[in-house]
């Protein structure tokens, strides 16, 4: 028999594991791509309008995670896993998921979720204390475990009942938003039915497929209710947008080529696949395998189909830049930057290419491009880093320190961010916008460091 002193540690470990399982995924890696973000924005825009949320306040964030999942975790942000994009067959399916997630935002479910989990955690903690107290009073260890188990069972039952009701209500909200936007619910239903089949089969790619089921438990009754509602909707027979679908297929292939091992990409998108999506996926696979001629040939095929597509130009520029052909990369990247009106992500790559020429005559343009990029998107650490390189090369050390502080605080390197912000503040003109910004970063870094110390 295990010593009695091991029981509290066992119970604490169980509680900690349970609480962790309920916490939202918040520390995952974000994927940034101009074309993908534009597509997701266009997908969700009519749904946001139908939900009566403010369009400019809703953001879709792509997470680099192969599991099939989407969630909200506070604010008006929908997080979508790359695995969900890969698993979907149509843009309409993804729109169905986005509509559902908007329902969570409009209903304030994140706040209510936190309230419920807090209550459940209190219940399990009380059970833990009761179980530990009974053992310390002389009761058998099994009795303490039983008390804890009963408390946890009650807490879980209460929470899951709440979550099932919440998900069912969100289904109805998502269906309303699809209807209001004139978008068919066929994709929503098809995607949910496929996930329901994953749940039933269990053995099929369980590690990847189970994530959506864990956060969005899909019962047969829910799917049946949703089918009855959606099939009666006037938008049920609305045709899918062919342009949106083609864009989706290309983005899905692009993401797969970027994330997956080249051999896997070439099996899924072999040379016999002459679609634009196939060329897109293979361009990234070849580039990752350092087959530059083949990668550029795939990019050239894409550009032959649409010479003014800024994302094809971006791809060509990226391949040239990362293969050391910097001067050649400037031409497509400059065009792509201009055509997208300084899209922050494309402009960042163009600014990097200008710096990589090591030609000081390009630094003025690099500074203009990068300043425009961070003005539109302050949360772009790569652009801030490149801007810092330009400032340092030109001897403007205070602003180089400020740019470093900007990107370091985003990377949560708080001690280094504080150090750079203080150095910038000391050297910048007092009262200037940059001086004020340095103070703000220093305050943010200090606050973060204090929070970290309090948790120890």
CA–CA distance from 216 to each of 164, 184, 374 (Å)? 8, 21, 36
Which has the closest alpha carbon to 168: 247, 122, 228, 256?
228
Which has the closest alpha carbon to 280: 304, 264, 256, 263?
256
Distance CA 184, CA 200 (A): 26
Distance CA 147, CA 131 (A): 5
Q: Which two tokens stand for residue 276?
A: 């634009």
- Count other Cβ atoms within 10 Å, centred on residue 360: 10
> What is the Cα Rg of the chain in Å?
26
Distance CA 451, CA 190 (A): 45
How high is the pLDDT of residue 28?
62
| pLDDT per residue of the chain (456 residues) written in tens, 0 to 9 | 434 334 444 333 333 333 333 334 444 689 999 999 999 999 999 999 999 998 888 999 999 999 999 999 878 999 999 999 999 999 999 999 999 999 999 986 444 444 443 443 444 444 444 444 444 444 454 444 454 444 444 444 443 344 555 787 888 999 999 999 999 999 999 998 888 777 666 554 444 444 665 566 666 778 888 999 999 999 999 999 999 999 999 999 999 999 999 999 999 999 999 999 999 999 999 999 999 999 999 999 999 999 999 999 999 999 999 999 999 999 999 999 999 999 999 999 999 999 999 999 999 999 999 999 999 999 999 999 999 999 999 999 999 999 999 999 999 999 999 999 999 999 999 999 999 999 999 999 999 999 999 887
Return the percent helix, strand and coil in the chain, to nearest 5.
Answer: 75, 5, 20
Catalogue all structural domains in the chain, each as residue range(s) with its CATH number: 6-231 (3.30.2010.10), 260-305 (no CATH), 308-380 (1.25.40.10), 396-456 (no CATH)
Q: Is this model's pTM higher than 0.75 or not? A: yes
Distance CA 402, CA 408 (A): 10
CB-based contact 351:370 (threshold 8 Å): yes
3 state SS of 232: coil
Q: Which two tokens stand for residue 45?
A: 């825009």
| Angular region, 204: left φ>0, alpha ψ -120 to 50, beta rest | beta
- The CA-to-CA distance between both ends of the chain, in Å, stands at 34
How high is the pLDDT of residue 157?
42
CA–CA distance from 92 to each of 14, 32, 174, 225, 243 (Å)? 41, 22, 13, 19, 12
Cα-Cα-Cα-Cα torsion 75, 76, 80, 85, nearest 10 degrees, comes to: 180
CA–CA distance from 365 to each of 31, 337, 354, 360, 362 (Å)? 27, 12, 8, 10, 6
* Enclosing H/E stretch for 79: strand 77-81
Distance CA 111, CA 26 (A): 15
How high is the pLDDT of residue 198?
72
Q: Which two tokens stand for residue 431?
A: 């009262």
CB-based contact 344:376 (threshold 8 Å): yes
3 state SS of 70: strand
């Amino acid at each position: 028999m295990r010593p009695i002193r091991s029981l509290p540690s066992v119970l604490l470990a169980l509680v900690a594991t349970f609480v962790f399982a309920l916490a939202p995924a918040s520390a995952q890696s974000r994927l940034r791509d101009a074309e993908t973000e534009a597509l997701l924005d266009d997908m969700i825009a009519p749904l946001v309008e139908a939900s009566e949320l403010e369009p400019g306040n809703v953001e879709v964030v792509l997470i680099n995670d192969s599991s099939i999942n989407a969630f909200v975790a506070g604010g008006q942000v929908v997080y979508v896993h790359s695995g969900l994009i890969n698993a979907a067959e149509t843009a309409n399916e993804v729109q169905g998921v986005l509509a559902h997630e908007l329902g969570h935002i409009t209903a304030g479910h994140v706040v209510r979720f936190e309230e419920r989990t807090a209550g459940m955690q209190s219940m399990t903690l009380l059970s833990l204390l009761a179980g530990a107290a009974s053992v310390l009073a002389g009761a058998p260890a099994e009795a303490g475990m039983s008390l804890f188990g009963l408390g946890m069972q009650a807490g879980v039952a209460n929470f899951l009942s709440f979550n099932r009701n919440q998900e069912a209500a969100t289904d109805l909200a998502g269906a309303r938003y699809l209807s209001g936007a004139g978008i068919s619910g066929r994709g929503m239903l098809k995607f949910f039915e496929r996930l329901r089949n994953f749940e039933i089969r269990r053995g099929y790619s369980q590690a990847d497929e189970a994530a959506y089921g864990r956060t969005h438990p899909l019962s047969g009754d829910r799917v049946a209710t949703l089918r009855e509602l959606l099939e009666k909707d006037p938008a049920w027979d609305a045709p899918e947008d062919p342009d949106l679908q083609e864009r989706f297929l290309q983005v899905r292939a692009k993401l797969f080529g970027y994330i997956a091992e080249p051999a896997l990409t070439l099996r899924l998108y072999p040379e016999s696949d002459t679609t634009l999506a196939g060329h897109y996926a293979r361009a990234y696979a070849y580039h990752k395998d350092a087959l530059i001629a083949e990668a550029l040939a795939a990019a050239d095929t894409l550009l032959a189909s649409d010479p003014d597509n800024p994302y094809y130009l971006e791809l060509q520029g990226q391949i040239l830049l990362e293969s050391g052909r910097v001067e050649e990369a400037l031409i497509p990247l400059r065009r792509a930057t201009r055509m997208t009106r300084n899209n922050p992500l494309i402009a960042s790559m163009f600014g990097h290419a200008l710096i990589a020429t090591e030609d000081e005559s390009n630094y003025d343009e690099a500074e203009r491009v990068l300043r425009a990029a961070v003005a539109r998107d302050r949360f772009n650490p790569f652009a801030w880093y490149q801007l810092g390189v330009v400032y340092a090369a030109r001897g403007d050390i205070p602003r180089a320190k400020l740019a470093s502080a900007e990107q370091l605080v985003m990377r949560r390197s708080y001690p280094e961010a504080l150090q750079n912000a203080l150095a910038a503040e000391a050297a910048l003109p007092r009262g200037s916008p940059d001086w004020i910004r340095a103070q703000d970063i220093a305050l943010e870094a200090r606050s973060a460091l204090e929070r970290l110390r309090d948790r120890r």
